[in-house]
Chains A and B, each alone.
Chain A
Amino acid sequence: MTGISDTPITGAPVADAAKFVPQRRWRYRLDRAFQIATIAATAIAILVLAWLLIDVLWNGLGSLSWTLLTSFPSRKPEEAGILAALAGTGWIMLLVAIFSFPIGVGSGLFLEEFSDDTWFARFVEINISNLAGVPSIIYGLLGLTAFVIVLGDYTGGRSILTGALTLTLLILPIIIVATRESLRAVPNSLRQAGYALGGNRWQVIWNHTLPASFPGILTGVILALSRAIGETAPLITIGALTFVPFLPDGPLSPFTVLPIQVYNWVSRPQKEFHDIAAAGILVLLVVLLLMNSVAVLLRSRFQKDR
């Protein structure tokens, strides 16, 4: 592919150069139209997404109340709340963070620092980029078989632990890729300086490479967690409940999460439930926004320190 070969601009070979008509006005007019088309496309995309956010704000702000945040779900929309869903989301996030951080960073370290270009490393690499393209609902099917049925005695079946393990597998590829990218961004001279001082591989990683790449890793982890927080389909597949009138009492308890609660309310016919669904979405988006800002803040903070 040269791309240049089929260019429409060299209308004539050199011998016919005298016959070449530049048609500048026409071409510049097309240029202008093309530029306007790109601006219009960007504007349409952003305006529709703005419409979405305004729509949610408009419908949700009215129903956002203290009752909503502190009540359990109910058949009556005015008494229904997201307390159980918030607690479930909190539990899931905590466990996913605990599981995915060490495993993801460990895999990243193995691929980037410990292994040379062996067949094993290459195999893991191809495997990870493949996993990143698997639909999330397929992870739900895996979780259903592996954690609900096969390991059900240890995970408590359709429990918080099962949900957290499933989501951990889902976001691992994201964390591994982010870890590898930030490890790769550490200049090699830093590692060589560590080796020159007599450190072995692990000492260099622990004292130099990891601290230098930590902000990037942390940002990647937080962004991956914010992906996990919005996931609905895999948790429905493993059998998270849609009506939970109690607070989960531990990792083996049945649970629901915020997106599932929202899904449940949206799929009901009554308008009042749609409004509290919008309020639930607002809470979800605020949590996401907070996580994203923490990621950005951490990144700039750590970068300043160095």
Chain B
Amino acid sequence: MSVEMSSENGSSLWQANYKRAKRLENIIKFLCGICAIISIATTAGIIGTLIFETIEFFKEVPFWRFLTDTRWTPLFQSKQFGIFVLISATLRTSGIAILVAVPLGLLSAIFLSEFASLRVRKVLKPLLEILAGIPSVVFGYFALLTVTPVLQAFFDFIRTPVMIPPWLDFLPFTNYYEPDYFLEIPFPYLQGFNALSAGLVLGISITPLVASLSEDAIYSVPQDLRAGAYALGATQRETILAVVIPAALSGIVASVILAISRAVGETMIVTLAAGQNPHLGLNPFVPVMTMTAYIVQVSLGDTAVGTLPYKTIFAVGMTLFLITLVLNIFSFWFVRRFRERYE
């Protein structure tokens, strides 16, 4: 900088070059403004492409068929476009994931913030953040090759007929095979690709996210509120459940919604472990194809630009985008409506 050089020689000789400095500042400001515009252009690009290709798609496929068809077979001869087939699969995997991630994540957050010693917290918090960064393809490997076989063995174990003495034949699920009675629980058969293990592992993969963000919210509830509850005679559990959690509710809900939108948009776990078989319904034990898995399937094949299959991935992408957008908007609204500010 010119200032450093000349101030030693005597300030009378030094003349500030305001104009040049000002011009540089304006140039830099302009460049930074362009950088900021890139993020707006990204949003515009996403919405623009999705809308454009989706309109192209609906020129060929009527909208009501998109909503009412009961099969999803755009790549076959007899084409059907029931988006709810894919949505039902996404619902299954992310529903199971949320059932896993919210209790585990929330209870872990409460443990870290309220029960853990400072040392334990100092170790576990960064560990959670590292675990949140494990690539999803790794979880996909785990779901398909480790969790599914373990679950299958467990299901088989429950289904195995157990020999029972004849006088127990009043029990339900008993069968008589010569010469003995057996207890046979009609447990479902778990296929190699299924929504269950994909959902379970998806849940484990977003647990660190829920735990970490909820913990931030719970930890920032001021100590005065807890002290007040104790002074009224509440125990620690009562304080947490009746005072601390409600006070941190907006942060907790925001973290849960972020987790839901992660689960809905997650791709590799469900592509690897849930399969590629469009299936309408709520059965989690069969192969299903989520919206993201369909996009991957088409992308991996050689699909020419402008063909109908090519347009379907944008229609599916649009649906996905709208779902996550609604979740985001709800989250914004909820946080703004229920945020508690403490000084």
Which residues of A come within 8 Å of B, CB atoms? 1-4, 6-10, 22, 27-28, 30-31, 34-35, 37-42, 44-46, 48-49, 51-52, 55-56, 102-107, 109-111, 114-115, 123-124, 127-131, 133-142, 144-146, 149, 169, 172-173, 176, 197-203, 207, 223, 226-227, 229-233, 236-239, 242, 259, 262-263, 266-267, 274, 277-278, 281, 284-285, 288-289, 292
Contacts and interface: CB of A to CB of B under 8 A. Distances in A.
Contacts of B115: 35, 38-39
Interface string B26-46: 001101111111111011011
Interface of B: 1, 3, 16, 18, 21-22, 24-25, 28-29, 31-40, 42-43, 45-46, 49-50, 53, 103-108, 110-112, 114-115, 124, 127, 130-131, 133-142, 144-146, 204, 207-208, 211, 228-229, 232-238, 240-243, 245-247, 249, 258, 261-262, 264-268, 271-272, 292, 295-296, 299-300, 305, 313-314, 317, 320-321, 324-325, 327-328, 331-332, 338, 340
B36 A169 contact: no
Contacts of A139: 46
B299 A239 contact: yes
A16 to B, nearest CB: 15
Contacts of A239: 299
Nearest to B295: A137
Contacts of A34: 237, 240-241
A110 B36 contact: yes
A156 B234 CA distance: 67
A131 B328 CA distance: 10
A128 B332 CA distance: 13
Contacts of B245: 3
Contact of B305 (A35, A142, A149, A292): A149
A8 B33 CA distance: 54
A65 to B, nearest CB: 19
Contacts of A31: 235-238
B17 to A, nearest CB: 11
Contacts of A201: 25, 29
Given A38-B110, A55-B142, A266-B145, A30 B237 contact: yes
Nearest to A28: B235
A267 B38 CA distance: 36
Contact of B111 (A41, A146, A176): A41
Given A128-B39, A137-B295, A146-B49, 20 more contacts: A8-B242, A38-B108, A38-B114, A38-B115, A45-B204, A49-B134, A55-B146, A103-B35, A109-B32, A110-B35, A129-B332, A130-B43, A137-B265, A140-B295, A202-B29, A203-B25, A263-B137, A266-B145, A274-B145, A285-B134
A141 B35 contact: no
A255 to B, nearest CB: 15
A180 to B, nearest CB: 11
A261 B16 CA distance: 59
Nearest to A24: B235
Contacts of A52: 134, 138-139, 142, 146, 204
B262 to A, nearest CB: 8
A288 B33 CA distance: 32
A136 B106 CA distance: 25
B246 A266 contact: no
12 contacts: A3-B246, A7-B229, A7-B242, A9-B229, A49-B131, A52-B204, A56-B141, A103-B38, A106-B31, A124-B39, A135-B267, A232-B137
A4 B300 CA distance: 55
B320 A131 contact: no
Contacts of A199: 3
Contacts of A124: 36-37, 39-40
Contact of B133 (A141, A144, A227, A262): A227
A169 B37 CA distance: 12
Nearest to B313: A141
B129 to A, nearest CB: 9
Contacts of B340: 1
B324 to A, nearest CB: 6
A46 B130 CA distance: 12
A1 B221 CA distance: 14
A27 B235 contact: yes
B328 A133 contact: yes
A30 B237 CA distance: 8
A55 to B, nearest CB: 5
B141 A278 contact: yes
Given A42-B108, A49-B131, A203 B146 contact: no
Interface centre among B3, B115, B236, B268 (most CB of A within 10 A): B268
A110 B338 CA distance: 30
A35 to B, nearest CB: 6
B138 A292 contact: no
A39 B111 contact: yes
B46 A134 contact: yes
A110 B115 CA distance: 41
B36 A242 contact: no
Nearest to B25: A202
B16 A198 contact: yes
A237 B261 contact: no
Given A266-B145, A281-B141, A203 B39 contact: no
